[in-house]
Structure 1
Amino acid sequence: MSGRRGYARPIDGADRITARAEKDELLIEADKVVRSTDPYLVGHFPEITLYPAVFLLDGIRQAVGSELHHSPALTAHLGPGGPGETWLELGTLGSARVLRPMLEGDELRLLIRVSAGRPGALRAALDCRRSDGAQVAKMTVELVRGGTS
């Protein structure tokens, strides 16, 4: 074994992502539709398509990683990273609360507010809502550089 970590292709955390920098924060909106045909959901829960809340964590990581270029200040706060550190990793999970199940056909809107955390880390706060406005989850995570794509 070479000692190099390998990764499988991640799930698609969002179908659409938009972002804008505002003062010292990056505001991201990401949309995800729960589909029973997505291969990662087959057999997850017998007879019902139930979107795993842990996938929201990867959705945060992917959305922030893809849109970080909109905020040079946050990119600088995160630091350059070392060799091979080309994507963001979950540093810590500050809080996670799932309020409602996410079912087949639900259109989820991930509202992510990103700010500077401790040196070399970003703080991302998630407010996840269905298309009817009902809040389904909220989470706070720390993101750091690490991993290889």
Structure 2
Amino acid sequence: MTAGRQVPLTAVDTVESRDGGCVGRKRVRADDPYLAGHFPSLTVYPGVFLIEGVQQMLELHLDGTVGGIELVSVESARFSLPVLAGDEVEFDTRITGERPLLSTSTNCTVDGRRCARIAATWRCAS
């Protein structure tokens, strides 16, 4: 993501700060326009949208707005369960490092079951 760009999707609905990181939530809705045609008989939320959710949550947590943080690398991403329409994803993220480079370790869960684990590095513009 680059500062000032228009975000085509809302990948996180809420963000709460906690010691060492933040927790975000996203309700997956089948009628979201960016999911149209994505496995029409079974709406599966793409894994890349989970990574986008981590980025948007980090931006909102750190700066209160979307933009200004870009993905440097994904060290690992393991997707263990599909996220489906109607699910609410919880992003539990630990943040380490100092600006301009931050590392995150995120467990994504639905109803307490892990659906993804993502480790990534981000560059902050400010």
Counterpart among 51, 58, 80 of residue 57 in structure 1: 51
**Greater shift in the superposed pair: 89-98 or 60-69:** 60-69
Q: CA deviation at 1:45?
A: 1.4
- Asked whether the 8 Å contact 2:4–2:68 carries over to 1, the reply is no
2:109 matches 1:129: yes
Say which structure is richer in strand.
Answer: 2
* Residue-pair matches, total: 121
d(CA) in 2 for partners of 1:111 and 1:14?
12
Percent of aligned positions with the same letter in both sequences?
Answer: 32
Q: CA deviation at 1:145?
A: 2.7
Aligned to 1:96: 77
Gaps spanning 5+ residues in structure 1: where? Answer: 71-85
d(CA) in 2 for partners of 1:103 and 1:46?
12
The code of the aligned residue for 1:45 comes to F
Aligned to 2:8: 10
Q: CA deviation at 1:7?
A: 4.2
- Asked whether the 8 Å contact 2:107–2:116 carries over to 1, the reply is yes
Q: Deviations over 1:58-107 (max 9, x none)?
A: 1111111111159xxxxxxxxxxxxxxx5101000000000000011111
The 4+ residue runs of structure 1 with deviation greater than 2 A are 5-10
For normalisation by structure 2, the TM-score amounts to 0.86
SS at match of 2:53: helix
Q: Deviations over 1:12-43 (max 9, x none)?
A: 111111113x3xx3x21111111101110000
SS at match of 1:57: helix
Counterpart among 23, 26, 40 of residue 32 in structure 1: 26
d(CA) in 1 for partners of 2:41 and 2:4?
33
